[in-house]
Amino acid sequence: MGNTQKLKRIIATDCGSTTTKSILIEYVDGEYRQTVRGEAPTTVEKPLNDVTRGVVNAVTELEELARLKYNDDSIKFIKDQAIWLSDKEGEGVDAYVSTSSAGGGLQMMVTGVVAKMTGESAERAALGAGAIVMDLIASNDKRANYEKIERIRQLRPDMILMAGGVDGGTTKHVAELAELVGAADPKPRLGSSYKLPVIYAGNTKAQDIIKETLGNKTDLIITENIRPVLERENLGPARDKIHDLFMEHVMAQAPGYNKLMSWTKGPINGKMTNIPIMPTPAAVGNIMQTIAKINDIEVLGVDIGGATTDVFSVFTEDKVFNRTVSANLGMSYSISNVLATAGLANILRWVPFDIDESELLNMIKNKMIRPTTIPQKLEELVLEQAIAKEALRYAFIQHKEFAVGLKGGQKKREIADAFAQTASGASIVDMMTLDLLVGSGGVMSHAPRRNQSVMMLIDAFLPEGITKLAVDSIFMMPQLGVLAEISEKAATEVFEKDCLIYLGSCVAPVGAMKPGKIALIAKLELPNGEVFEESIPFGEVRLIPCGVGETAKATLKPGKGLNIGAGKNQEISCDLHGGVVGIVLDTRGRQPFVLPVDASQRVPLLKKWMKEFDVYPEEIL
Amino acid sequence: MAQAYSPGLTVTKSIVLKKDRILPLKGKVLVKKGDKVKAEDVVAETLLPGKVVPFNLANKLGVPAEMLGQYLKVKAGDELKKGQVMAETNGFFGFFKTSIKSPLDGEIENISKLTGQMLLREPKIPIQVKAFIDGLVVEVVKEEGVIIENKSAYIQGIFGLSGERSGEIKMLASTPDEIIDPSKIDDSCKDKVIVCGALVSYAAIKKAQKVGVSGIISGGIDDKDLKKLLGYNIGVAITGHEEIGLTIVITEGFGVIKMAKSCFELLKSFEGHKASIHGITQIRAGVMRPEIIIPIEFKKEELKVEEAKMATLEIGTTIRVIRQPNFGLIGKVTGLPEKLTKVESETMVRILEAKLENGEKVTIPRANVEVIED
């Protein structure tokens, strides 16, 4: 971007379903830094019914904090109840960008001929574009046709993505699906003044039939086949169409968004240009893929929000990107559903004290109906983090099931593959090869102690071997994802310096043994000259301080039958990266990781681990 | 920060209300602009299209889809009677004919020459929309419904169950913190909207169902009782469709919570008046909260809807604590420090200082209060 030198002050917001978060990015001493942040409740609900009110509130907070920071009362970002974009030096801001997941985000329905093949590709395209997939309707999904029609009618999605058939393949099934959609005559969720957008990205041979069946009833858009041959996916064109429609149709219907869309502007090639509002998850996905590519690593990221939990991953040498949304796992609107999904016992197994069951149930429901409140009491914080672990765990299970290799294609198998017994359709998520695990979302980024984020990540995801851990400092990945649209330089600089906070590394041998037996013989030469050396028994954790940007030279030998990445019983010598928390040696076992069911055995263990992790003040443990 | 927005629930003696009463599909509007309507009046009605039943005609007939046309006895759009012949093969010299009869009364939506599939539609289902509130029809949305306005005393609940109902208000609790005994609910409560205090128990709800109470208004409800009542745990807060024979509106939250004084006093002052209530709650996208609407006398020229105001936090503002500790207590803001402050959970947050109704001085995260308009 040739004109980034003109960008001195940028405001970026993310309108979430609960909170609108704003950040200020400034060009200081030759580099872009994120300097101030603010937030306010999102205002898409009555009585305000206008998303821009929350944006103005969040930016007003920025303005006030910037005035305090620079002790300069003339700083002004808001003028006439709108964000003040000005090209005059020192006045207003130079650019404003935003992402959004308010109003329930982008809700889609997808169709495919075979659920596990074209159906899955359609689902991947929609999820990658930042949508929540309400349902996948496939010719072979075992529901009777009338049930499918009823379902389509009930759902009222924002748009439908139809896939099906490889190019030149069957047209009959695709035609039948189009007939079902036509018969259901679905109405868009927001308003009845426009036709429902339907994107067709299936067999090119069936395009005419689709036009005939759906051309009049829906706002039909035809694009390239997302699965032209079984062996290859072509998700890009469909994703782009979804983004265009998200702006034109869905966002334009949500309260206040027309106004907001007229505010998001930045200079492109020296001209102030409208910058489209991006769905939040799409922006986060952009950033995740960038990290994986720049550093050539495998990355797993999670964003736990109020309503939903998104998991993103980039695995394998080909850097295959996957995103899943667990639509009903979250920390506020959906908190009660975490309880319904995981069950009370699974939540309580992470709690190191007794609590009255009805009190806990009422607390969870109260959080659901007043989603913007935050835990003031320590006990409530511990409970919320226990719930978060379960929400993350379930979201990850769903992700592993979805992030699989392409099914149905002919795969060239080599002798090594035959020995490895890898089937097409197996999960590509491998915790042993994973390099970096990133957590974000309120409960993760705003945890009072970073040690809490470490423990939540480890307990929920159970990383194996050696894994670096990080959190998004104040949850600004979405804003940076959209900021890259006007200035990649600003986005990457801020990302590296202010966004990711490295927590440290986790070393976890895979396998199980009897408690007390030696699970890991570790020798760590720390940068300050100290040496940590211990034969750690099974069932323990150790936390060794090692700061950000520092590394420890480590020799790690797993106990008998255990593996830390080089194979069973194999020793590893490597550099372990530090972080704000440090290096965790976790010998509590993997595959399986087992917590005692009996509270009298479990609670002392939890307390011991929590003390070692230094997660909570002593008085509660 | 001098001001902060804190969304609170509305409790007011008088408000001009506007209610859209719109059909799910186009239909017929039964009233006209300027008409005075009662809550029970039907204002619009329509016929919902019946269920679609796919029927593989070509298959049943044993002919290829592209040849189906020559055997058809019906066409798309035709009305059908159960047993009516829809297609017939010629057979040999008029014998061994295969005829396919309609499995239902209804109409033909579509016949596909490509797949040989027929889409049949069952008869239409009548749907009616009632006025829900006593008021004046101020606008007719052609073929869709009406907009009704009135002046009402109005309370927004925090959570509710079941749909729209109306009834006369009857106070069962004499103070906002009373937990009423089920024995208080007797035949005199039939068709009434009863006001409980700090909690409505499972036993009380069962009794209310038995005597035919129309609605229950209560400060709190216990989650365990809710699960027992519904038979399932509510995962995501989308309610209003429960078929439990009465409507429940919770004004404060889960557990034993004293009903807000303003809310209790307002209901008390309208004892004997008719109220329209619903429990429809949606805490995600397009938030909806339960409502208690008590129509009051008005002149047409009074019907001016005021623009929504933003609740602001200032020194002296009355607030209610909406999370532990001190959940449910009322207080007055005494300070609004700008710097982030560490609270017991060690979270760094923006806080406010307040003096509670019990005299205690406290600091509370700003996110954990709501503004109460005096």
Q: DSSP secondary-structure letter at B70?
A: G
Mean pLDDT within A338-342: 91
pLDDT score recorded for residue A438: 93
- Whether residue A416 is predicted with pLDDT greater than 50 in this model: the reply is no
CB contact under 8 A, A175 and B112: yes
CATH number of the A4-102 domain: 3.30.420
Here the CATH number for the domain that contains residue B209 is 3.50.30
Tell me what pLDDT residue A423 has: 47
CB pair distance less than 8 Å for B344 and A377: yes
Those of residues 193-222 in A touching chain B at CB distance below 8 A are 209
Q: Any idea which of A21-25, A440-444, B195-199, B276-280 has the lowest mean pLDDT?
A: A440-444
Tell me, yes or no, whether B173 and B256 share the same domain: yes
Report the chain B residue with the minimal C-alpha distance to residue A255. Answer: B286
CB–CB contacts below 8 A, A to B:
184
In the predicted model, is pLDDT for residue B3 greater than 50? Answer: no
- Sort out which chain B residues have CB atoms less than 8 A from A373's CB and list them: 322-323, 365, 367-368
Interchain contact A62–B (C-beta under 8 A): no
Distance of alpha carbon B293 from alpha carbon A550, whole angstroms: 64
Tokens at A186, concatenated: 């679905």
Residue B91 lies in a domain: yes
- pLDDT grade for B39, boundaries at 50, 70 and 90: very high
Search chain A and give the residue with CA nearest B114.
A172
Q: Out of 3.40.50.20, 3.20.20.60, 3.40.50.10540, 3.40.50.360, select the CATH number for domain A105-253.
A: 3.40.50.360
Interval A554-569 mean pLDDT: 96
User: What is the pLDDT at residue A422?
Assistant: 45
Average pLDDT score, chain B: 89
* pLDDT tens-digit map of A466-483: 999 999 887 788 899 899
Report which secondary-structure segment, H or E, holds A242: helix A236-245
3-state percent helix, strand, coil for chain B, nearest multiple of 5: 15, 40, 45
Nearest Cβ partner for A374 among B54, B110, B365: B365
pLDDT at B138: 94
- Which residues 530-569 of A have a C-beta within 8 angstroms of B? none
| pLDDT above 80 for A327 | no
Mean pLDDT computed over A6-10: 88
pLDDT at A243: 80
Q: In this structure, are strands B192-195 and B165-171 parallel, antiparallel, or unpaired? A: parallel
Distance from CA of A439 to the nearest CA of B (A): 18
- CB–CB of A306/A17 below 8 Å? yes
If one counts every other C-beta atom within 10 angstroms of the C-beta of residue B92, the result is: 8
User: Do residue B203 and residue B92 come from a single domain?
Assistant: no
Average of pLDDT values for A393-402?
Answer: 91
Cβ distance of A369 and B253 shorter than 8 Å:
yes
Spell out the alpha helix ranges (H) of chain B.
Answer: 57-61, 202-211, 223-230, 261-269
- Residue whose pair of structure tokens reads 């596909």 in the numeric block: B112
Looking at the structure, do residues B241 and B343 belong to the same domain, yes or no?
no
Name residues whose C-beta falls within 8 Å of residue A356's C-beta, 6 or more positions apart in sequence. Answer: none
Question: pLDDT category, A293, cuts 50, 70, 90?
Answer: confident
The answer to whether B324 contacts A369, with C-beta atoms less than 8 Å apart, is no
Q: Assign A441 a pLDDT band (cuts: 50, 70, 90).
A: confident
CB B68 within 8 A of CB B113: yes
State pLDDT tens for residues A245-288. 877 777 777 788 889 999 999 988 888 899 988 888 888 888 88
| Lowest-pLDDT range of A22-36, A121-135, B87-101 | B87-101
Greatest mean pLDDT among A117-121, B90-94, B148-152: B148-152
Test A381 with B327 for CB contact under 8 angstroms: no
> Where is pLDDT greater, at B68 or A614?
A614
**Burial classification of residue A567, based on how many CB atoms lie within 10 Å of its CB (0-12 exposed, 13-18 middle, 19 or more buried):** exposed
The answer to whether residue A505 scores a pLDDT higher than 90 is: yes
Q: Name which of A524, A533, A541, A534 is nearest A585 in CA terms.
A: A541
Q: Nearest Cα to B145, choosing from B159, B132, B157, B164?
A: B132
| CA–CA dist A352, A339 (Å, integer) | 18
Sequence-distant contacts of A76-82: CB under 8 A, at least 24 apart: A77/A11, A77/A24, A81/A56, A82/A52, A82/A56, A82/A259, A82/A263
Q: DSSP of A360-415, one letter per residue? A: HHHHHHHHHHSTT----SHHHHHHHHHHHHHHHHHHHHHHHHHSBPPSSS-----H
For residue B110, give the nearest of A104, A179, A381 by CB distance: A179
Residues 6 or more apart whose Cβ sits within 8 Å of residue A619: none
Distance from CA of A231 to the nearest CA of B (A): 28
DSSP line for A247-263: IIIIIHHSTTHHHHHHH
CATH of the domain at B366: 2.30.30
Q: Is residue B285 part of a domain?
A: yes
When pLDDT is cut at 50, 70 and 90, the band that residue A377 belongs to is very high
- Put simply, the answer to whether A372 touches B237 (Cβ < 8 Å) is no
Alpha-carbon gap: B94 to the closest alpha carbon of chain A (Å): 33
Q: Rg of chain B's alpha carbons, rounded to an integer?
A: 28
- pLDDT score of A10 more than 60: yes
Which of A365, A372, A620 is the mutation pick for testing B, counting most B CBs within 10 A? A365
pLDDT for position B369: 92
Give me the phi and psi of A20, to 5 degrees please: -100, 120
In this structure, is residue B153 part of a structural domain?
Answer: no
Q: Are residues B322 and B261 in the same domain?
A: no
A17:B285 CB<8 A = yes
Q: Residue B283 is nearest to which of A209, A369, A448, comparing CB atoms?
A: A369
When the pLDDT of each residue in chain A is averaged and rounded to a whole number, the result is: 88
Which residues in chain B have their CB less than 8 angstroms from residue A339's CB? 233, 235
* Residue from the list B114, B253, B281 with its beta carbon closest to the beta carbon of A172: B114
Quote the pLDDT of residue B7.
57
Is residue B104 domain-resident? yes
Q: What's residue B2's pLDDT?
A: 32
Is the pLDDT at A408 greater than 80? The verdict is no
Whether B167 and B285 map to the same domain: the answer is yes
Is B308 close to A358, i.e. CB distance below 8 A? no
| Gap from B180 CA to chain A (nearest CA, Å) | 20
Answer yes or no: do B111 and B168 share one domain: no
- Chain A residues closer than 8 Å to B119 by CB: 179, 183
A477 against A411, higher pLDDT: A477
First to last CA, chain B: 22
Which is more confidently placed, A331 or A488?
A331
Look at residue B251 and tell me if it is in a domain: yes
Nearest residue on chain A to B287, judged by CA atoms?
A: A45
**For residue A417, pLDDT beyond 50:** no
- Please answer yes or no on whether A375 and B345 come within 8 Å at the CB atom: yes
Domain that holds residue B322: 318-372
Option in A103, A365, A372 nearest B286 (CB): A103
Supply φ then ψ for residue A406, to 5 degrees: -65, 135
Identify the pLDDT of residue A190.
Answer: 64
Residue B244 and residue B354 share a domain? no
Mean pLDDT of A220-242: 90
CA distance B78 to B121: 10
pLDDT band at B308 (very low <50, low <70, confident <90, very high): low
Please check the confidence at residue B1 and state whether its pLDDT lies above 60: no
Does residue B194 sit in the same domain as residue B258? yes
Task: Give the mean model confidence (pLDDT) for residues A517-543.
Answer: 96
pLDDT category at A301 given cuts 50, 70, 90 is very high
Q: Which of B271, B289, B307 is where one domain is finished?
A: B289
Mean pLDDT calculated for residue range A555-583? 96
* pLDDT reading at B164 higher than 90: yes
Structure tokens at B313: 């936090």
Q: In this predicted structure, what is the pLDDT of residue B284?
A: 64
Residue of A nearest to B323 (CA): A373
Beta bridge partners of A466: A507
Q: Which of B114, B323, B349 sits opposite A209 (nearest CB)?
A: B114
What share of chain A has pLDDT > 90, as a percent? 54
Residues B218 and B272 in one domain: yes
Residues B163 and B110 both lie in one domain = no
The A residues from 241 to 270 touching B (CB cutoff 8 Å) are none
CB–CB of A21/A98 below 8 Å?
no
Task: Specify the higher pLDDT residue, B281 or A526.
Answer: A526
Q: Provide the 10 A C-beta neighbour count for residue B343.
A: 20
Number of domains in chain B: 3
**Minimal C-alpha gap between A301 and chain B (Å):** 24
Cα–Cα distance list, A330 to A50, A389, B113, B316 (Å): 24, 11, 47, 35
Confidence grade of residue A366 (pLDDT, cut at 50, 70, 90): very high
* Cα dihedral A338, A344, A349, A351 sign: positive
Report the pLDDT value the prediction gives residue A279, as an integer from 0 to 100. Answer: 84
Confidence (pLDDT) at B10: 84
Q: Which residues of A touch B322 (CB under 8 A)?
A: 366, 370, 373
Distance in Å, alpha carbon of B187 to nearest chain A alpha carbon: 31
Are the Cβ atoms of A53 and B5 closer than 8 angstroms? yes
Q: Which of A337, A339, A330 is nearest to A360 (CA)?
A: A339
pLDDT at A532: 97
Least confident of A83-87, A151-155, A251-255, A291-295: A251-255
State residue B301's pLDDT score.
79
Q: Looking at residue B82, which CATH number applies to its domain?
A: 2.40.50
> What pLDDT is stored for residue A191 in this prediction?
60
pLDDT of residue B286: 60
The mean pLDDT value for B325-348 works out to 91
Spatial contact of A112 and A103, defined as CB atoms under 8 Å apart: no
Choose from A394-408, B94-108, B196-210 the range with maximum mean pLDDT.
Answer: B196-210
Neighbours of B211 (CB within 10 A): 16
- Judged by CB atoms closer than 8 Å, whether chains meet at A376 and B53 is answered as no
Quick: pLDDT tens for A199-214: 999 999 999 999 999 9
